[in-house]
Amino acid sequence: MTTPPSSPPSSSEAAFRQVHALEEQVKTDGACTLPGVSIAYELFMPIMMRAVARGYVRQEHADFVADGLRFGFGLGVDVSKLRGRRLFRNYPTAVEARAAVSKATRARVEQGKTLRLFPFRAEDRAVLDRWPSWRIFPMGAVPKPMEPGAMRPFSDHTATGMKDATDLALLRHTLTALVDIARFLRHMYFMRVSDVDSAFPLLPIAPRLWRYMMFIWFDVHAGDEAGVLSYLYLHVCGDFGSAGLPGTWKIFFTDVVMGMARSEMVLTLEAPIYVDDISLIGELQRLVDHEGAALTAFLRMLGIFIKEIKDRAAAQVQLALGFWWDSINRTRTLSERKQQAYVAMLREFETRRSLSLRERQQMAGRMQRAVMTMPPGAACFMATMYALMRGFCRCRGSRDAPRVPSG
């Protein structure tokens, strides 16, 4: 009897059979048949082709998405550049946030987006050598920007060399949502904000990349947070850390899916996109909310889900992308939490004799956002800080970033 995809294989041999079976499934039936992929392929494709015929979606973008949904997205990675076998240890940030990382990993395993393979020990490296090359990447954790106290696991594909093997020529893009909102949110207009649920993990990864998407973590099904038993896991859907995923998602969602919504007359209002955040803007509150609900239903039909519990109804004073947007007074201000954090950081740094490069970079990012709430020309206040960082770089493998005089 074949082991169901959701059941953990009993041995490394069973794990390899499971991986091979899923690879063959992608070849014969398509990547959207993988257990962790919710996209309704048979419904998606004809709507996308209609959008192309009507001029709402470019043919090259449709071809890119069609290939990804059929065979898995390649993320711009040239696997011929990923030679050899390498294993990396997880970063302290992941271990420190163990509960959050285990919760996220458990959810991915239960949804079929990550395979839980087998208990892994140092001597088990030889088991993987049936593949001519493979990678076990290091995992870390970072705070979620919009959720204080929450942590998100990330995959470091820079260390494994996968980022260097990624061609971003077709995937490089610029996020223009802040500029777009400022342009479209006219006087007295309303804005509704929605968030796509688990955006990157919606996309299936091409099987040729799976062997480079492995990591080691505690057994998320053991229920013993104090245990030390480690398991080998493998991502078959998008993760957070792959260099090609943001560009792949942009083509999939912004260029194709939103074009499909416009083609079907589900979406008629302006809708700036910031990765997975949708800001729907219009003159009439009821119309904005009605169209937002229709868009949510349309996306759900395609197998793309909105975090409806986090939806913010249309309003003239709206929180989006970390700013309060006021269409009545035509102002943009920081949220209170961010403002307090920024002021506390600046007060601390002004008492220091030196700052690390990382601290300088963090300050630059926060000051840049603060400057966006000020009159034009305020960016000149940041010139000295950027001058002090010139010529410094963080060397790979070094334990400490260089120290920069606070000036």
Identify whether residues 120 and 217 lie together within a single domain. yes
Q: Is residue 211 part of a domain?
A: yes
Q: Is residue 64 part of a domain?
A: yes
Range of the domain at 155: 12-173+200-248
Interaxial angle between packed helices 285-302 and 41-53, expressed in degrees from 0 to 180 and rounded to the nearest 10: 120
pLDDT tens track for 292-301: 999 999 999 9
Among 248, 283, 313, give the residue marking a domain's end. 248
Q: Is residue 298 part of a domain?
A: no
DSSP class of 266? S
Q: Is residue 288 part of a domain?
A: no
Q: Is residue 270 part of a domain?
A: no
At residue 9, does pLDDT exceed 50? Answer: no
Please check whether residue 214 is in contact with residue 251, taking contact to mean a CB–CB distance below 8 angstroms: no
Max mean pLDDT range (68-82, 137-151, 218-232): 68-82
At residue 187, does pLDDT exceed 70? Answer: yes
CB-CB neighbours of 167 under 10 Å? 15
- Asked which of 34-38, 157-161, 211-215, 384-388 is least confident by mean pLDDT, the reply is 384-388
Among 185, 215, 248, give the residue marking a domain's end. 248
Say which residue, 390 or 239, is predicted with more confidence. Answer: 239
Question: Where do runs of H (alpha helix) occur along 72-204?
Answer: 92-96, 98-111, 157-160, 177-184
Q: What is the reported pLDDT for 398?
A: 40
Type of residue at 58: R
Identify whether residues 217 and 353 lie together within a single domain. no
Q: Are strands 277-282 and 273-274 parallel, antiparallel or unpaired?
A: antiparallel
The tally of CA atoms less than 13 A away on the side-chain side of residue 182 is 10
Percent of the chain with pLDDT over 70: 90
Q: Which residues contact 86 (CB under 8 A, 6 or more apart)?
A: 134, 135, 136, 160, 161
Stretch 238-251: mean pLDDT, rounded? Answer: 95
pLDDT tens track for 152-164: 899 999 999 999 9
Q: Is residue 142 part of a domain?
A: yes
At residue 396, does pLDDT exceed 60? Answer: no
Please choose, from the candidates 175, 171, 151, the residue with its C-alpha nearest in 3D space to the C-alpha of residue 245.
171
Helix (H, G, I), strand (E, B) or coil at 320: strand
Identify whether residues 345 and 239 lie together within a single domain. no
Among 248, 279, 309, give the residue marking a domain's end. 248
pLDDT band at 403 (very low <50, low <70, confident <90, very high): very low
Q: Which residues pair with 404 in a beta bridge?
A: 355
Stretch 16-43: mean pLDDT, rounded? Answer: 95
Q: Is residue 342 part of a domain?
A: yes
Q: Which residues contact 295 (CB under 8 A, 6 or more apart)?
A: 194, 261, 266, 267, 271, 278, 280
Q: Is residue 396 part of a domain?
A: yes
Q: How far is CA 217 from CA 78, 127, 214, 241, 305, in A?
A: 27, 17, 10, 17, 28
Number of domains in the chain: 2
